[in-house]
A and B are shown apart, each in its own frame.
Chain A
Amino acid sequence: MTNKILVILEQRDNNIKKVSYEVSKAGFELSQKLNCAIEAVIVGGEINDLSKIGNYGIKKITHLKNSELNKYSSSAYTKTIVEFLNEIGANIILIGNTSLGKDLAPRIAAKLDAGIAVDVIKIETSENNIIATRPIYAGKALVDIKINSEKKVFTIRPNVFNPGEPTENNSEIIVKEISSPDFSTKVIEVKKAEGKLDVAEASLIVSGGRGMKEAANFKLVEDLAEVLGAAVGASRAVVDAGWRPHAEQVGQTGKTVSPNLYIALGISGAIQHLAGMRSSKCIVAINKDADAPIFQIADYGIAGDVFEVVPALIAELKK
């Protein structure tokens, strides 16, 4: 079978998600290694920056439109995408490992009876096949996976593949109206957390733990996050104490993050917390206990009191 890659792009509120650029780049590099064709598809929205995707090497992008598809529907998106990929004869499918990607990819795989590898952090080729690497046991081990079925589905971990510099921009954009989607499952409303940057998507994160002592002191965490333009994260201890919402929890039973910078304030670095943030590119720990396990994986540490160090850090960054 000749290979053909389909990259599924994601839009939210008519904007292409950052992870879609990363997936495009990963897909483009894979297409070069396999010497095969690549296309992209996007469902729903009124997107005006679609041509930007072409900047990453993908020459053909199809926009499947229907105003009812602006919000995610697992049943409608699955049907629409499976029909499209059968039509173009793609056998390798890549999508971001986001809340949408994680929900959609397995459905597509089941419909195609295809093997699937999720949360992929590396893609290599070997004898015209693909070897995908992904973390398991909360990042305590890695596996290399080979999919043996003809059709293969991969979800790509955000913030891992660097989209780098765009290469060219002469892509063809095709718009198609879609009729009769299957709405047996439908999102009727999206509730956004007020104006906050989500930890799962942020490239800079400032997280606070029990060392912050009480909910009110998170003002300090928020202030540092604000000067950096970072998202606020939390350890489970503070979420369980009700100081912060669960949406901010980083770790095994919270979110997995891989930002460029992760600052841990008063967090001990329990194994379940490390599980969620160990793949951060640069880790800074501020903890008054110099033996805290967080220092084992931190790139830079200050073994001091957060209430003394953080205000100084905020002042220094404001300079």
Chain B
Amino acid sequence: MKIAVCVSHVPDTAAKIKIGSDAKSIDPTDVTYILNPYDEFAIEEALKTKEKFGGEVVIISLGNESNKESVRKALAMGADNGILLKDSGIRDSISLSKALAEEIKLQNADLVFMGKQAVDYDNSITGQLTAEFLGFNCVSVVIKFDIDGNKITAEREIEGGKEIVETSIPAIITCQKGLNEPRYASLKGIMAAKKKVIEEKNASVFENKSEVIQMSKPVGKQAGKIIGKDSSAVPELVRLLKEEAKVI
């Protein structure tokens, strides 16, 4: 089975976000970029699936040179090949997904894992969009995955519970925390990954359907007041919640 994993390279979740001078993107100075945390679940699931059924795991990332760090991390975990779709422009999810779909088709992948969202734009739609552009089935926000022949059974997280979904390959699965425990790269894996060649191609360009016209910082919430140090403050707290905030 040919399995693809799409990974993104994003600012560390603890990074302080500053708005860039164009007021449309962030200022990347002093920002550390990491493999998108949800993509680790995708890589792990791909490796587990390969271990069970054989095949090959290819990592695809669209972005610039620095994305190779995340691709290399995936290779160190055990993926077979890496592809960097080089891109310098600004993309919305539609043009990003179309470019990923094109590469997945070229790779002849029949199963694709992605993180449920990238923690930069928090869109959580790339998997579903890519699946539609490919004509693949898709299950999003998956916390349990099983495959038997062509048949897929997956559990997805919903409000107040979960849905058990049946579908078949070709499919895209977007991965949520809880699906598995991503493995650490072994020293051997890290050494092997250094030797692997990450194939570079230019990403195909598609029209963006949306544009960012302005980026801003949310109006900071004014820190409120500490109304006391022990339970003697409780009656005042309850009064404030009832009369001032009017939330209870």
Docked CA distance A316–B228 (Å)? 16
Determine if A260 and B160 form an interchain contact, defined as CB atoms under 8 angstroms apart.
Answer: no
Q: Is A29 an interface residue (CB 8 A)?
A: no
**In the complex, which residue of chain A has the Cβ closest to the Cβ of B218?**
A142
Determine if B209 and A313 form an interchain contact, defined as CB atoms under 8 angstroms apart.
Answer: no
Q: Is B34 an interface residue (CB 8 A)?
A: no
Determine if B157 and A99 form an interchain contact, defined as CB atoms under 8 angstroms apart.
Answer: yes
Determine if B94 and A201 form an interchain contact, defined as CB atoms under 8 angstroms apart.
Answer: no
Q: Is A135 an interface residue (CB 8 A)?
A: yes
Stretch at the interface among A57-65, A144-152, A171-179, A215-223: A144-152
Min CB gap A244→B, angstroms: 12
Determine if A136 and B121 form an interchain contact, defined as CB atoms under 8 angstroms apart.
Answer: yes
Determine if B26 and A299 form an interchain contact, defined as CB atoms under 8 angstroms apart.
Answer: no
Which one of B14, B92, B234 contacts A313 once the chains associate, using CB atoms below 8 Å? B234
Interface residues of B in 101-143 (CB under 8 A from A): 119-125, 128-129, 131-133, 137-141, 143
> Chain B 5-42 against A: per-residue CB contact (8 Å), 1 yes, 0 no?
00000010111110100000010000000000110000
Stretch at the interface among A33-41, A44-52, A191-199: A191-199
Which one of B92, B237, B245 contacts A302 once the chains associate, using CB atoms below 8 Å? B237
Docked CA distance A141–B26 (Å)? 9
Docked CA distance A74–B227 (Å)? 49
For chain A, what secondary structure do more than half of its interface residues adopt (helix, strand, loop), or is it mixed? mixed
Determine if A301 and B224 form an interchain contact, defined as CB atoms under 8 angstroms apart.
Answer: yes
Determine if A102 and B140 form an interchain contact, defined as CB atoms under 8 angstroms apart.
Answer: yes
A295-B223, A297-B221 are contacts. A282–B245 as well, Cβ < 8 Å? yes
Interface residues of A in 246-270 (CB under 8 A from B): 246-247, 249, 252-254, 260-261
Q: Is B89 an interface residue (CB 8 A)?
A: no
Docked CA distance A148–B35 (Å)? 31
Docked CA distance A78–B135 (Å)? 13
Min CB gap B120→A, angstroms: 6
Interface residues of A in 57-92 (CB under 8 A from B): 71-72, 74-75, 78
Q: Is A4 an interface residue (CB 8 A)?
A: no
Q: Is B197 an interface residue (CB 8 A)?
A: no
Which residues of A lie under 8 Å from residue B149 when comparing CB positions? none
Docked CA distance A221–B143 (Å)? 26
A148-B211, A204-B248, A316-B234 are contacts. A106–B125 as well, Cβ < 8 Å? yes
Min CB gap A299→B, angstroms: 4
A109-B94, A298-B223, A300-B224 are contacts. A188–B248 as well, Cβ < 8 Å? no
Which residues of B lie under 8 Å from residue A140 when comparing CB positions? 16-17, 217-218
Which residues of A lie under 8 Å from residue B226 when comparing CB positions? 290, 295, 301-303
Q: Is A281 an interface residue (CB 8 A)?
A: yes
Determine if B230 and A105 form an interchain contact, defined as CB atoms under 8 angstroms apart.
Answer: no
Q: Is A123 an interface residue (CB 8 A)?
A: no
Q: Is B201 an interface residue (CB 8 A)?
A: no
**In the complex, which residue of chain A has the Cβ closest to the Cβ of B117?**
A102
Stretch at the interface among B43-51, B75-83, B164-172: B164-172
Determine if B166 and A188 form an interchain contact, defined as CB atoms under 8 angstroms apart.
Answer: yes
Docked CA distance A298–B168 (Å)? 47
A137-B17, A187-B164, A189-B163 are contacts. A148–B209 as well, Cβ < 8 Å? yes
Determine if B218 and A136 form an interchain contact, defined as CB atoms under 8 angstroms apart.
Answer: no
Determine if B238 and A313 form an interchain contact, defined as CB atoms under 8 angstroms apart.
Answer: yes
Determine if B125 and A99 form an interchain contact, defined as CB atoms under 8 angstroms apart.
Answer: no
22 contacts between A and B (CB under 8 A): A103-B156, A106-B129, A110-B128, A116-B209, A118-B125, A143-B212, A144-B212, A145-B212, A190-B162, A193-B160, A193-B161, A246-B178, A253-B38, A295-B224, A295-B226, A302-B237, A304-B228, A304-B233, A312-B234, A313-B231, A313-B234, A316-B234
Other 11 A-B pairs with CB < 8 A, given A106-B128, A299-B224, A301-B224: A110-B133, A136-B121, A141-B216, A148-B210, A148-B211, A185-B167, A196-B160, A201-B159, A283-B224, A311-B231, A312-B234
